[in-house]
Amino acid sequence: MQEKEKRSKRSVKQVLQDLKMEIRSSQNTLIVAVDIGKIRHCACFASSSGKVLRRKFFFTNTIDGFNQLMRQTKFYQRKEELPHTLFGMEPSGYYWVHLYEYLSLREKRVVTVSPLAVNRNRETINVSKDKSDPKDAYNIADLMRQGKFYFPIYRDKEVRKLKRFMQMYYRLITQKASLRCRLRGVVGYVFPELEHYFTHITAKSILAILQAYPFPLQIRTLGKSRFVSFLAKENPHFSRKRAEEIYELASSSIGITGEEEAVLFEIRVLLNELRNLEENVARINTEVYAIVKDREDYELLLTIPGIGPVTASSIVAEIGEITNFSSGKQLIKLAGLDLCGSESGISVHTLRHISKRGRKVLRTVLYQATVACIKCNAHLRACYLKLLANQPNKKKVKPKAIVAIACKLLRIIYRMLTEKKAFDLGYDEKLKRRFSLKKTKTVSIEKSDLLQPVAC
């Protein structure tokens, strides 16, 4: 119990560093490296000293296969007298989650290896481009023996459920945008003047027209007064003047005729799909709110001006527990906003750019949130304008400044969630005053030390 308490007090970073040192220095650990597949996995058994015990062991992605893996692990532990075990795998899709949960429930030490590291390390083992599951399993074992692994960020059930809901939400939003484009194309084919008249194809008035009278001929047949009264009934805020303008556009329309039945069927299908999508999005918002309404991190994120419920829910779903991170820099790397470049001597010097090796959804949400925060948040807007003023003649200044403010926003989020404090506009000024006070104190102490007489 005391060891568990000590381990809980240590940060995740310290635990990971200690485990790496243990694997590199010890020779009594059995390394079980698994190449993940959809139907079956391939395991490689090796010792931390570098001795390969078994290069390939295939087992299915079922409970029987997992039990076979455990029996083989116990067999090699007894045979080679290796008291400790470490399981490692490459997180491929969602197939690795089943094995990870199985091992975690049995309190086994499990780590993951970066797919990029597996790809790069393959050529260091064998120059040949030949690739197979046993070779990949041995490759993972080699990386584990070098200490090139990390703990997976495996969220609790509540956050996993939230993440799945947010994935569905963004998928539906993408589908909705596609449906709007298709609907705009159909309207532009039969009634191009109407398509150009409205900015948004899903406006209330245009949806009412498409539902009842989608063709110019139908509007002309209805008559001007009846058409104006129809729009006034469907949308009371729509002006009579604009309704009359639409009728005049229908009177002189150049839309294609002769395909009314097919076009009408397509319009109704698209409108039904849009309606169903909006209903599903509303259901998802209800479920998401039920999950996050009692979470402290969600409430703290909402205190930032410019961040709304959807953005806050997305950030919570992507980050998970803030205790998994030791600094704001790790959040920046998680989003793929860390800078990278290429330098070699004096001949090669490429411009630094964001790596984009993080979570795409988190990066997209942060970019959109940053644009909103620059408009609504006085503190971040001042930082943004200062960055623009400092580099007046540089190329792509605005996108670079937005990325810089996004990184600052992530550091603010990390500070808020770790300290459990709401957003404070004057936090930077307080830090400057605190730093200046410390600096003046140290200077005064140094002066007093210099003025003290030296004993002969």
- Give the CATH number, domain containing residue 177: 1.10.287.4070
pLDDT at residue number 396: 84
In this structure, are 306 and 375 located in the same domain?
A: yes
Q: Is residue 306 part of a domain?
A: yes
* Mean per-residue pLDDT, 111-121: 91
397 and 385 in contact (C-beta within 8 Å)? no
Whether residue 305 is found in the same domain as residue 332: yes
Give the pLDDT score at 113: 95
Residue 450 domain-assigned? Answer: no
Asked if residue 335 and residue 398 are part of one domain, the reply reads: yes
Over 70: is that where the pLDDT of 120 sits? Answer: yes
Q: How many angstroms separate the CA atoms of 282 and 418, rounded? A: 32
Please give the residue that has the higher pLDDT: either 220 or 431. Answer: 220
pLDDT, tens digit, for every residue of 52-90?
999 999 999 999 999 999 999 999 999 999 999 999 999
pLDDT of residue 73: 96
Both 275 and 336 in one domain: the answer is no
For residue 32, the cross-strand partners are: 45, 87
Choice between 251 and 9, residue whose per-residue pLDDT is larger: 251
- 408: amino acid identity, one letter: K
Over the stretch 370-413, which tens digit does the pLDDT of each residue have?
Answer: 999 999 888 899 999 999 988 877 788 899 999 999 999 999 99
Same domain assignment for residues 358 and 421: yes
Q: pLDDT tens for residues 136-184?
A: 999 999 999 999 999 987 778 899 999 999 999 999 999 999 999 999 9
| Helix (H), strand (E), coil (C) string for 100-169 | HHHHHHCCCCEEECCHHHHHHHHHHHCCCCCCCHHHHHHHHHHHHHCCCCECCCCCCHHHHHHHHHHHHH
227 and 131 together in one domain: no
| In the predicted structure, residue 456 carries a pLDDT above the cut 70 | no
- The pLDDT, as a whole number, for residue 7 is 44
Q: Could you say which of 82, 117, 145 is where a domain stops?
A: 145
Nearest to 179 by CA among 282, 274, 267, 263: 274
Is 456 domain-assigned?
no
Task: Give the model's pLDDT for residue 1.
Answer: 39
Instruction: Please list, in sequence order, all residues whose beta carbon lies within 8 angstroms of the beta carbon of residue 113, skipping any fewer than 6 positions away.
Output: 88, 89, 90, 140, 143, 144, 148, 149, 150
What is the reported pLDDT for 93? 84
Cα–Cα distance for residue pair 280/174, rounded to 1 Å = 13
Do 36 and 139 meet the contact criterion of CB atoms below 8 Å apart? Answer: no
pLDDT higher than 90, residue 443 = no
Q: Does any domain span residue 270? A: yes
Residue at which a domain ends, from 145, 173, 204: 145
Share of the chain above pLDDT 70, in %: 91
In this predicted structure, what is the pLDDT of residue 6? 44
* Residue 82 belongs to domain spanning: 2-145
DSSP codes joined into one string, 394-416: STTHHHHHHHHHHHHHHHHHHHH
User: How many whole angstroms separate alpha carbon 220 and alpha carbon 253?
Assistant: 10
Q: Model pTM greater than 0.85?
A: no
321 lies in some domain: yes
Q: Which residue has tokens 């009412």?
A: 208
Mean pLDDT of 425-444: 66
Q: Are residues 130 and 186 in the same domain?
A: no
Residues 261 and 233 in one domain: yes
- Predicted local distance difference test score (pLDDT) of residue 213: 93
| Closest to 98 measured CA to CA, from 72, 140, 59 | 59
Residues 109 and 181 in one domain: no
Q: Is there a single domain that holds both residue 207 and residue 317?
A: no
Beta bridge partners of 184: none
Whether 53 is covered by a domain: the verdict is: yes
Give CA–CA dist 211/409, Å, rounded: 44
Query: Contact, 374 vs 360, CB < 8 A?
Result: no
Scan for tokens 């039945």, then name that residue: 261
Amino acid at 7: R
**Does residue 133 share a domain with residue 47?**
yes
> 115 vs 431, which has greater pLDDT?
115
pLDDT confidence of residue 5: 42
User: Residue 382: which residues within 8 A CB-CB, separation 6 or more?
Assistant: none
Question: Using one digit for the tens of pLDDT, what is the confidence trace for 196-251?
Answer: 899 899 999 999 999 999 999 999 999 999 999 999 999 999 999 999 999 999 99
Which whole number is the average pLDDT over 110-135?
87
Q: What angle do CA 228, 254, 241 make, to 5 degrees?
A: 25
For 107: left if phi > 0, alpha if psi spans -120 to 50, otherwise beta; the answer is: left
Q: Identify whether the C-beta of residue 248 lies closer than 8 Å to the C-beta of residue 220.
A: no
Number of domains in the chain: 3
The pLDDT score that the predictor gives to residue 3 is 38
Distinct helix (H) and strand (E) counts, the chain? 20, 9
Among 114, 145, 176, which residue terminates a domain? 145
Is residue 316's pLDDT more than 70? yes
**CA distances to 87, 101, 143, 170 from 107, in Å:** 11, 10, 22, 35
* pLDDT number for residue 163: 93
Instruction: List Cα–Cα distances, 68 to 62, 75, 319, 411, 438, in angstroms.
Output: 10, 11, 35, 45, 62
Whether residue 88 lies inside any domain: the answer is yes
CATH of the domain at 130: 3.30.420.140
**Is there a contact between 188 and 195 (Cβ–Cβ < 8 Å)?**
yes
| Residue type (1 letter), 37 | G
pLDDT at 331 over 60: yes
Residue 405 lies in a domain: yes
197 and 255 both lie in a single domain: yes
